[in-house]
Structure formats: structure tokens, C-alpha cells
Amino acid sequence: MNHRVPSIDALRGLVMMIMALDHTREFFHAGAMSFSPEDLSKTTPELFFTRWITHFCAPVFVFTAGLGAWFWRREGRTTADHTRHLIGRGVWLMVAELTLFRFVAFFAAPGPVLLTVLWAIGLSMVVLAGLIHLPLRFMAGISVAAIALHNLADGVRLTGAWQMLHQLGVFQVAGLTVVSVYPLVPWFAVMAAGYCCGPAVHQRERMERWGWALTAGFVLLRFANVYGDPVPWDGSFLSFFRVTKYPPSLAFLLMTLGPALVVMSRLERVTLAAAHPLLIFGRTPLFYFFVHFFLLHLLTFPLGWLRYGKVDFLWAPAPSMGGQAAAYPSGYGYDLPVVYAIWAFIVIVMYPLCRWYANRKA
């Protein structure tokens, strides 16, 4: 049996293409080196929504990882098989975060230890390995409760490695600076929710109703402006969509997972050719992730030479990646149209590479 589901692969492929835009912005956009695109005092609508659209990536990655775990289990594996698979896969992803991703992000330069989306997916898989022993309804209740109620703990400030549980934080381990970007809560619950939705994936109308309900919930929650995000809406248009990702607030998850479910239900209605870019990208997620990041980082060198006549500064981590702005030329970076052109180039280059890898993988 083949546990691949085209609508899930296509949705994942779509957000992977979008993900490349965010990473392109981090490596090449001039503004990324000095301010957040969600800083309403400095950003522009074009820059804000260039960042905003990429918010869909992490929730879809984590949610579809849960869906994938459900379909893997449906191929006749035992609970023990599934437990070992999830733990092994999760640990591998966490190790890859600390080794392979660290290399493609910094090359030989020293930099902080980033605990990002691969770490979150890996650790969530380890947690899911325990949750699958519970009845599905009980797991669904835990995941919904964690997603809906975790903002009640926003005022709790943790220290040291405990920050990995529920906050964006920086701490020291053995002399290394560790940046916890994707805390465990509520990401494990997003993955568990994906697992629980597995039985309903092919029920198109039901999934679409859930998607619209979550989207409506975001709108109502944001208008109420009482709960669901630590940063209140200030009444402006951009502020309405400026919700918190680290950790993902209830409003953030409703805003992203709602439309994602609608899109996935619509993709269930169409038939895509096996060589369609959405399917090719969606079936090679780790390969795409590491290779596109490596290519983006590598591309900074020829472009840096063309513009500045030197590349020595590029061995230091970019300011957008936690490096020191003083190590880079003043005003380093490019305008948004250049960023979009580089993004399109990277996506085009990645297609034949991912298609080759997909064939090898098959």
C-alpha cells in the first residue's frame, strides 16, 4: 500500500514554495537585516504581506506531519511499530536540525544553535509516540485544549532550557547560545490534531466546513480583542493580521490552519499529474528544505561579489540569522523586487532537483 495522499502532498508542496520566499527574504532583503517586517512603524504593506503569507508554512508542515503519521499507521503497522517509527524519525529530525541545518545556515561560521521547525516537528513526533496509545477522541481533546488554552500561560516566564516548552527564548548550554524559536507547546498539539483529522481527510465537505469555521473563529476572536493573542489588535488593518508566531497563538493557528483546511479540501477535488510541481515538492520535503536553503546561502556569495567586490563578510552569520550587523556593509541587501526574482529562480531550479530525487526515492 502507498500512504501518500495527493491533496496532502499538494498542500505541503504549495507551502514549501511559499517557505522559500521567507528564506529568500531573510538572506537578501535589506530590511530583514535591520527590522522585523511586522514592525508596523517601519514596514510597508508589500513587505508585511510578503512575511504574512509565509506564516502558513510551519502550521501546515506540523499538521500534515500528523496526517502523514495517521496514514503510515493505517498501512497495517502495530502500535509498537508506530511508536518506534515516530521516536526514530523525531530524533533524526532533531539531530538534523543541530547538524545539517546548522551547516547550511552558517557554513563554517560559528553561530547560535537554532531550534526551529525541524526541532519542533521532531520533538512533537516523540510526544506523539506517546499520545497514539490514547483513544483518538481523548487525543483530540488534549490537542484542542492545548491549542485553545495555552495562551493562558503567556504571563509565565521560564528560564534556561525550560524556555523550550512555551516561549521564544535564548539561553546558554555548555557555552553555546541556544535560541528556542519553536517551543513544544502548542506545536505538539497541532501535530496531534493533524493525526486526529486523518480519518476525515477524504471527507471533503466536512474538512472544508472545519476550515471555514476556524477562519471565522479567527475573525471573531480578533474583533473581540480579549483573548487569543498576546499582542492586541490596535484597530488598524495590518495590526488585525499581526498575530504572534513564537509561540503560535490561538489566533495565529486559527488564521493559518483554517484556510489550509479549505485549500486541502479543494485539492481533494482535482487530479494533478504525477510530475506537477506541487506534488514533486510535497513528496520531497526534507530534500527541498535543505537544498533550497543551501542554494540561497550559496547565492549570497556571487551576488555579494558583484555588488561589493568582496565576500569575506558573508562568512559571518547574516544579521537576520542572529549575526552582528556591524560585520556587514551598511545597507546590505536588496529591494523587494530583487528578492522576488531570486525566489522565483530558486523555485525553478529546485523543480528538476526534486523531481530527480523523487524518482530516486520511489
Segment 68-109, tens digit of pLDDT: 999 998 877 899 999 999 999 999 999 999 999 999 998 977
Is residue 36 in a domain? yes
Higher pLDDT, residue 299 or 361: 299
pLDDT in tens, 294-346: 999 999 999 999 999 999 999 998 898 878 889 999 989 999 999 999 999 99
Return the DSSP state at 178.
E
Say if 322 falls within a structural domain. yes
Total domains present in the chain: 1
Q: Which three cell numbers stand for residue 347?
A: 523555485
Q: Please report whether residue 1 resides in a domain.
A: no
Q: Is the predicted pLDDT of residue 175 greater than 90, yes or no?
A: no
3 pLDDT exceeds 70? no
* Cα-to-chain-centroid distance, residue 338: 23
Is residue 31 included in any domain, yes or no? Answer: yes
Is 71 a member of any domain? Answer: yes
Run of H or E residues at 114? strand 113-115
Answer whether residue 153 is part of any domain.
yes
pLDDT at position 22? 97
The C-alpha cell of 195 is what? 493525526
Task: State the burial class of residue 350 (Cβ atoms within 10 Å of its Cβ: 0-12, 13-18, 19+).
Answer: buried
Q: How many CB atoms lie within 10 A of CB 324?
A: 10
- Confidence (pLDDT) at 12: 97
Write the pLDDT tens digit of every residue in 115-162. 999 999 999 999 999 999 999 999 999 999 999 999 999 999 999 999
CA distance 64 to 251: 19
Average pLDDT over residues 25-51: 96
What confidence tier does 1 reach under pLDDT thresholds 50, 70, 90?
A: very low
Q: DSSP states of 278-347 as a string?
A: HHHHHT-HHHHHHHHHHHHHHHHHHHHHHHHS--GGGGSPPGGGT--GGGS-TT-SB-HHHHHHHHHHHH
Helix (H, G, I), strand (E, B) or coil at 173: strand
Q: How far apart are CA 297 and CA 15, in angstroms?
A: 20
pLDDT in tens, 206-247: 999 999 999 999 999 999 999 999 999 999 999 999 999 999
Q: What is the extent of the structural domain holding 25?
A: 6-361
167 backbone dihedrals φ, ψ, rounded to 5°? -170, 155
Residue 321, pLDDT score: 84
**Residues 35-61, mean pLDDT to the nearest whole number:** 97
174: pLDDT strictly greater than 60? yes
The rounded percent of the chain whose pLDDT value lies above 70 is: 99
Residue at 272 is within a domain? yes
Average pLDDT over residues 348-360: 97
Q: Which residues contact 218 (CB under 8 A, 6 or more apart)?
A: 251, 254, 255, 258
Burial class (CB in 10 A: 0-12, 13-18, 19+), 352: exposed
* The model's pTM: 0.96
pLDDT over 60 at 53, yes or no: yes
